[in-house]
Amino acid sequence: MAILPVSGLADMGQAAEGNYVRFDEFADAIERMGHALKEIDCSAGGTITLTKGAGGSFIEGYAFKLTGAPAAAFTLSVPDGERRFEVWNTSGRSATVDTATGSAATIVVRDGERKTIVAEGTDLRLHAELSFRIGTFQSGKPGAGQEMLRFKAPFDFTLKAGLPGARAASSAGAADADKAFSLRKNGVEFGTVTFETSGAVAFVAASDTAFGDDTDVLTIVAPAVQDSTLADVSIILTGLR
């Protein structure tokens, strides 16, 4: 039977004896990576720390199912490094995933959510961002300063700088003057959708704007001065979660 050096097997949760492992054991370990599910009891709350190495609780490529009944939201700390893993939260509380050193952007996995996460050194990012659309329509002419949309999402999401994927239309060919519809987070403007006299629509947002689950509200507010021609206005924004 061929043998291979053990290098890297500790990260796969293999408690090797000596310096070598049988080839079939090595192949089995590779096969299990990306397929296995490891339960993590989070009942203690606070910070749940996963460690790598022989006997460690962190195994690269695995899905970690968070269980138990913590009393409050908690933090799941994972080792620094280059790896991909999945977190499935069934604990009944929100889990904030962070690295041992501290990621520039942590990732919140709420109860019932399942997210694939990529660790890049000390930082984390989602493996894939899901897009969704938020739309509003006003029949007739929007009233001056009318709130056309109030959206409080059941999940975290971000509207990216420049509002890629946004769409807007009206039944009028053009506005009688450039009219900016205000995009606001908790009442503070972060972007605009402007219907121009040329018939074009301009989408402006200087930076990414993140909204938290059940904490932040997105509103779209019509211009303070009603346009004489602008009617049947629809605005669609594309968010990432």
HEC assignment per residue over 136-190: EEECCCCCCCCEEEEECCCCCEEECCCCCCCEEECCCCCCCCCEEEEEEECCEEE
Instruction: Specify the higher pLDDT residue, 35 or 1.
Output: 35
Domain 34-126 coded CATH 2.60.120: yes
Count other C-beta atoms under 10 Å from residue 206's C-beta.
9
Q: State the fold for domain 131-240.
A: Jelly Rolls (2.60.120)
* CA–CA separation, 4 and 22 (whole Å): 7
What pLDDT does 22 receive? 55
Q: Is the pLDDT of residue 124 over 80?
A: yes
Q: Is the pLDDT of residue 145 over 80?
A: yes
What pLDDT does 14 receive? 42
Looking at the chain, which residues constitute the CATH 2.60.120 domain(s)? 34-126, 131-240
Identity of residue 89: N
Q: What is the pLDDT of residues 170-187, one digit of tens each?
A: 998 789 999 999 999 999
The residues near 138 (Cβ < 8 Å, ≥ 6 apart) are 146, 148, 222, 232, 233, 234
CA nearest neighbour of 75 among 112, 114, 102:
102
- Min mean pLDDT across 3-12, 33-42, 147-156 is at 3-12
Count other C-beta atoms under 10 Å from residue 123's C-beta.
16
Name the helix (H) or strand (E) containing 38. strand 37-41
What pLDDT does 129 receive? 66
Instruction: Specify the higher pLDDT residue, 221 or 114.
Output: 221
Cβ-contact 156, 210 below 8 angstroms: yes
Q: Is the pLDDT of residue 103 over 70?
A: yes
pTM: 0.56
Cβ-contact 204, 163 below 8 angstroms: yes
Mean of the per-residue pLDDT values for the chain? 84
Instruction: Specify the higher pLDDT residue, 107 or 18.
Output: 107
Instruction: Specify the higher pLDDT residue, 47 or 4.
Output: 47
